[in-house]
Amino acid sequence: MIVHLNGKLVPRDQALVSVFDRGFLFGDGLYEGLRAFDGRVVAMDLHVERLRQGLAECRIAWDAAEMAGLTDELLRANNLRDAFIYWQVTRGTPGPGQAVRGRVPAGPMMPTVMGFCYPTSGLAQNAAPAVKRAVISQDTRWLRGRVKSISLLGGVLAAIEAHEHGADDAILVRDGLVAEGTSSNVFVALEDGFGGTRIATPSLQSAPILAGVTRDLLLAADPAIEERSISVRELVEAREIMLTGTLSMVTSVVEIGGRPVGTGRPGPCAAGLLELLLRLIHGGR
């Protein structure tokens, strides 16, 4: 595996970072996860914009637009066309003589920029939604959920605890409202009162969640999807629950807290969301 580190492409065992890097000591950094199909990255513009906004909020000086060209270079160096690509930008490492534990950075530093990629399935292998069993967990993470921080301990613990309870993942809730998955956004299919189904996803105002790129693509393509607050009760009574993410695409949650969701099998809404996403990607999004 060839890794990008601070402007250089190096073999993975030569991609070394200082133990005083603020990403390592404080989790003081951001990341992006991207997906390429047949050599083309999905929605690069949205990933660049999300990283740009996160870097600005964190006062880390790096030009997020560089990610596009560097991603193409990294894919070529690894000879990959269907891949997951990970980028991480930390505030950097204090220089000699500078305080290493100050919460306020010792002075301007060069951000540490690291990227790697690994092979994933092609578009044709993603025709059906994957299936998961989930538990409901209280969201104990920080309140700046829109910032794609590398400090993922809250999500990591929720996922570990879900596994300890025999589930695949956790759906996080806060103040009685649905937030998101540990690495995905949540969509629910609800009865519309007229015998039909409507799809809804938590609004960014209703919970501190990430504006997922997959979520954004689906919302832009289907104006019928509602963005609003979703109660835990609506979640457990939903006909279908779907999780969306760059790597997982659309997953169908068939069991929540040990009880079947709807029929207990992936339903038409999960299939429909995945079909829409595949159509967008085929169409060059």
Residues belonging to the active site: 148
DSSP string, 189-225: EEE-SSS-EEEEEE-TTTS-----HHHHHHHHH-TTS
Closer CB to ligand PLP, 180 or 255, in the complex: 180
**Candidates 1-9, 54-62, 130-138, 205-213 — which segment interacts with ligand PLP by CB under 6 A?**
205-213
Between 126 and 246, whose beta carbon lies closer to ligand PLP? 246
End-to-end CA distance of the chain: 27
Nearest 5°: phi and psi at 202? -55, 135
Among 41, 51, 200, 210, binds ligand PLP (CB under 6 A): 210
* Cα–Cα distance, 19 to 25 (Å, whole number): 7
Interface with ligand PLP, residue 185, by CB under 6 A: yes
Which residue lies nearer to ligand PLP by CB, 115 or 245? Answer: 245
Residues 223-252 that bind ligand PLP (CB under 6 A): 244-246
Choose the stretch contacting ligand PLP; rule: CB under 6 A; options: 54-62, 91-99, 176-184, 200-208.
Answer: 176-184
Query: Which of 183, 201, 206, 251 touches ligand PLP by CB under 6 A?
Result: 183
Percent of residues in the chain assigned helix, strand, coil, to nearest 5? 30, 30, 40
CB of residue 230 to ligand PLP, shortest distance in Å:
15
Q: Is 214 in the site for ligand PLP (CB under 6 A)?
A: yes
**Any contact of residue 33 with ligand PLP (CB under 6 A)?**
yes
Which alpha helices (DSSP H) does 106-152 contain, by range? none
Could you tell me how many residues of this chain bind ligand PLP (CB under 6 A)?
A: 14
Pick from 133, 108, 129, 111: which is nearest to 254 by CA?
Answer: 133
Helix, strand or coil for residue 267?
Answer: coil
Contact 252, 242 (CB under 8 A): yes
Nearer to ligand PLP, 71 or 184 (CB): 184
Residue nearest to ligand PLP (CB): 212
Stretch that binds ligand PLP, among 5-13, 179-187, 198-206, 254-262 (CB under 6 A): 179-187
Give the per-residue contact string, 121-140, with ligand PLP (x = CB under 6 A; - = no). --------------------
Q: What are phi and psi of 259, to 5 degrees?
A: -115, 145
In whole angstroms, the minimum distance from the beta carbon of 186 to ligand PLP comes to: 9
Whose Cβ is closer to ligand PLP: residue 92's or residue 245's?
Answer: 245
Q: Does 154 bind ligand PLP (CB under 6 A)?
A: no
**Binding status of residue 184 toward ligand PLP by CB under 6 A:** yes
Q: Could you tell me the smallest distance in angstroms from the CB atom of residue 18 to ligand PLP? A: 26
Which residues, listed in sequence order, are joined to residue 174 by a DSSP beta bridge? Answer: 177
Q: Which amino acid is at 118?
A: Y
Cα angle 1-38-184, degrees, rounded to a multiple of 5: 75
Distance of CA 115 to the CA centre of its chain: 16
Element containing residue 88 per DSSP (H, E): strand 83-90
Structure tokens at 92: 């950097």
Residue pair 187/219 in contact (Cβ under 8 Å)? The answer is no
Residues found near ligand PLP in the complex (CB under 6 A): 33, 155, 180, 183-185, 210, 212-215, 244-246
